[in-house]
Chains A and B, each alone.
Chain A
Amino acid sequence: MEMIQFLDPESKVVNFEGFPKLSDGEVKKIYELMVISRMFDDIALKLQREGRLLTYASFLGQEASQIGSAFALEKEDWFLTSYRDHAVWITRGFPLHMLYQYWAGDERGMKIPDNINALPATIPVGTQIPHAVGVAWANKLQGKKSVAVVYFGDGATSKGDFHEGMNFAGVFQVPCVFLCQNNQWAISVPVERQTASETLAQKAAAYGFEGVLVDGNDVFAVYKATKDAIDKARAGKGPTFIECYTYRLESHTTADDWKRYRDVKEVEEWKKRDPVERLKKYMRKKGLWDEKYEEKILNDAKLKVREATQKFESVEPLKPKDMFKYVYETAPEQIQEQMKDFE
């Protein structure tokens, strides 16, 4: 299967045909999202080291896959993600401080603002995949034009949830886009241990719909593939599976140490394919980037992330009795009793 790529690792345009139609402003916006996301990630790692976040899963190296795809959604579209897709949330306008809040173990960070159609990130791998199929199906049944995009990793493709979700999507032709970030590893297990298939993208064929393989570190390739898949789904032409071929540069989480199972050389090779650098170099050639611009957006990003950390740190502490909230629409007597006892 051929891999869709517009920008090669040297930022040379290798494919003009079908190059996505993005305005200069949109390209800059994507770059700015990459910059702020990377800063968010970096600060999260620092907060974690200081004990202010729980274990944290970095998406370093996967910015193009997450932002390029999320940028293609319309406001009414739905997205469902895993625990590593923070840049998707940032791109869709989710408040940064709430991401920190959730990853600090505060459930209030899971309350999604009214203007965003998403479910809280799921931690059990792959479980969100059939949920997204259901969401897409509901949209179809109600004649709504919105599409569901579901994010998951290479490891998730081993789970029954993935196969069952894909199969339903094919059978019922629902407007769902399956966005798989093949970052080559599931903790310490390489993708070759997940599947004997040559690509993950080819799995879609078995379910009767299109699978595409894209260079997940080329933001234009990711954007184009996602935009096409969303347009197709919206037009009632069914689901698409997209494999973003990318790499997780950090450890699996802060509780993990990649040096136990990966070769330093492999990581160094992938660093050369950094998605943010790749876009930046392209923009410089196009006259969209210079030092002054970089300084300005770094500053803007710093301000926003600082504001987020300050907000995160100054939220009113959770009340212990909040843990009893939301379990039922109306708390049954048994829970009310326990709550009273607790106080």
Chain B
Amino acid sequence: MAKINLIQSINSTLRQEMEKDKRVILLGEDVGRNGGVFRVTEGLWQKFGDERVIDTPLAEVGIISVSLGLAVAGMKPVPEVQFDGFSIPMIDQIYNHVSRIRKRSQGKYSAPLVLRVPHGGGIRAYEHHSESLETFFSHIPGLKVVTPSGPYNAKGLLASSIQDPGPVIFLEPKRVYRAIREEVPEKEYTIPLNKAEVVQGGSDITVIAWGAMQKVVREAVSELSSKYSIEIIDLLTLSPLDKKTIINSVKKTGRCVVVQEAPRKCGYGAELAATIQEGAFLNLEAPIARVAGFDIPMPLAKLENYYIPDAARINKEIEKVMSF
């Protein structure tokens, strides 16, 4: 089996889904001839033509709102927003319409679309190109929020997202776009959009992360592997959340550290901490700890690595929780 990176995995999955289902179309800025600024859609315009891989005018609100129209009227749009920061104006349409059209039409319509978002920091990009916005999306009822962490799960999750009957936000960890290579079967497969994955079993402490933070966590805890038995959970989907897997894990370990790149305040980690204490209160041996970005705007590139959680910060928190 060939080892491929995330970009190649997403690209081949898009190709596969487009071959299978004529309703699937891609649209966004520079996704056509140029293959996207990260080259995720490379070669697809050449293969599927201008009607299915569409360079749009520069207008994010337009992209998401016409996608709603396309979706309710029979297409399966997969819009791309070029960078996370530019998805923020889209939230109006997502919150007020995309996620609610099923409810608002009393089940008659839904908007089966997948918004692909290159997500998060760590690539020395400009301002507004390194944002972690999963909380904004996860807060919206009616939406699914998916956070692949590597080439293998990206493929199964993207296929499920495209086949899903409702709208999905697909947050691609751009920092590891080319940094992780895995064996990915060519044949289509799906991964359910409500299941977290226990990527490493352990009995002393549970560490939960998603997206780009998975790689950081795996590398960090490997430094502690002789000391503690650490369970790692990759959430894969943030909304809906697989409560059972995380609660069962913490019931077993009694300790938990949650790692997120986004600012700490009201971050997804806060939801996890609340969920875990509701479900495993009597098993907790220590307060649930959060390692997170700070409550400040993402710094410009020179300081971004001081902002993004790293192995030292993660392991310090694990030690604290272990010695509580």
Interface residue ranges, A against B (CB under 8 Å): 54-55, 83, 102, 104-107, 123-126, 155-156, 158-160, 186-189, 193-195, 255-256, 260-261, 318, 320, 322-324, 327, 334-335, 338, 342
B55/A189 in contact, CB under 8 A: yes
A233 to B246, CA, bound (A): 62
B125/A158 in contact, CB under 8 A: no
Among all A-B residue pairs, the 5 with the closest Cβ atoms: A105-B301, A188-B34, A158-B57, A155-B58, A323-B299
- Asked whether B215 is an interface residue with its Cβ less than 8 Å from the other chain, the reply is no
A157 to chain B, nearest CB (A): 8
A55 to B125, CA, bound (A): 7
Q: Of all chain A residues, which has the CB nearest B85? A: A124
B55/A322 in contact, CB under 8 A: no
A189/B30 in contact, CB under 8 A: yes
Of B29, B33, B294, B299, which is within 8 A of A261 by CB?
Answer: B33
A160/B57 in contact, CB under 8 A: no
B297 partner residues in chain A, CB cutoff 8 A: 327
A126 to B264, CA, bound (A): 30
A338 to B309, CA, bound (A): 13
A160/B61 in contact, CB under 8 A: yes
B57/A193 in contact, CB under 8 A: yes
Chain B: how many interface residues by the 8 Å CB criterion? Answer: 38
A117 to chain B, nearest CB (A): 21
Of B37, B61, B294, which is within 8 A of A324 by CB?
Answer: B294
A54/B265 in contact, CB under 8 A: no
B296 to chain A, nearest CB (A): 5
Of A186, A260, A318, A335, which is within 8 A of B29 by CB?
Answer: A186
Which DSSP category, helix, strand, loop or mixed, fits chain B's interface? Answer: loop
Q: Given A188-B34, A323-B296: A195 and B57 within 8 A (CB)?
A: yes
Residues 133-173 of B, flagged 1 when their CB comes within 8 A of A and 0 if not, give 00000000000000000000000000000000000000000
24 residue pairs of the A-B complex, CB under 8 angstroms, read A55-B126, A106-B302, A107-B299, A124-B86, A124-B128, A125-B58, A126-B58, A158-B59, A159-B59, A159-B61, A186-B29, A186-B58, A188-B30, A189-B58, A193-B55, A194-B58, A195-B57, A260-B33, A261-B34, A318-B303, A320-B303, A323-B303, A323-B306, A327-B295
A124 to B124, CA, bound (A): 17
A335/B294 in contact, CB under 8 A: yes
- Asked whether B127 is an interface residue with its Cβ less than 8 Å from the other chain, the reply is yes
Q: Of all chain A residues, which has the CB nearest B32? A: A188
11 further contact pairs, Cβ within 8 A, besides A124-B128, A159-B59: A106-B300, A107-B303, A124-B86, A126-B58, A156-B58, A160-B89, A187-B30, A189-B55, A189-B58, A322-B303, A335-B296
A107 to chain B, nearest CB (A): 5
- Asked whether B116 is an interface residue with its Cβ less than 8 Å from the other chain, the reply is no
Interface residue ranges, B against A (CB under 8 Å): 29-30, 32-35, 37, 55-62, 85-86, 89, 124-129, 264-265, 294-297, 299-304, 306-307
Of A159, A335, A338, which is within 8 A of B58 by CB?
Answer: A159
A158 to B57, CA, bound (A): 6
A255 to B39, CA, bound (A): 12
A123/B299 in contact, CB under 8 A: no
A102 to B300, CA, bound (A): 9
B30/A334 in contact, CB under 8 A: no
Q: Of all chain B residues, which has the CB nearest A189? A: B55
B294/A342 in contact, CB under 8 A: yes
B303/A338 in contact, CB under 8 A: no
A217 to chain B, nearest CB (A): 23
B115 to chain A, nearest CB (A): 17
A327 partner residues in chain B, CB cutoff 8 A: 295-297
A61 to B86, CA, bound (A): 28
A258 to chain B, nearest CB (A): 10
B300/A105 in contact, CB under 8 A: yes
A194/B57 in contact, CB under 8 A: yes
A187/B296 in contact, CB under 8 A: no
A338/B294 in contact, CB under 8 A: yes
B30/A158 in contact, CB under 8 A: no
A327 to B297, CA, bound (A): 8
A261 to B29, CA, bound (A): 13
A105 to B85, CA, bound (A): 17
A104/B302 in contact, CB under 8 A: yes
Q: Given A255-B37, A323-B307: A158 and B300 within 8 A (CB)?
A: no
A193 to B61, CA, bound (A): 16
A123/B126 in contact, CB under 8 A: yes
B62/A158 in contact, CB under 8 A: yes
A54/B55 in contact, CB under 8 A: no
Of A124, A125, A255, A323, which is within 8 A of B294 by CB?
Answer: A323
B84 to chain A, nearest CB (A): 11
B301 partner residues in chain A, CB cutoff 8 A: 54, 104-105
Q: Given A105-B301, A188-B34, A318-B302: A123 and B127 within 8 A (CB)?
A: yes
A124 to B128, CA, bound (A): 7
Q: Given A193-B55, A194-B57: A324 and B296 within 8 A (CB)?
A: yes
B29 partner residues in chain A, CB cutoff 8 A: 186-187, 189
Of B58, B89, B128, which is within 8 A of A123 by CB?
Answer: B128
A338/B295 in contact, CB under 8 A: yes
B34/A260 in contact, CB under 8 A: yes
A187 to B33, CA, bound (A): 11
B128 partner residues in chain A, CB cutoff 8 A: 123-124
Of B62, B85, B124, B264, which is within 8 A of A338 by CB?
Answer: B264
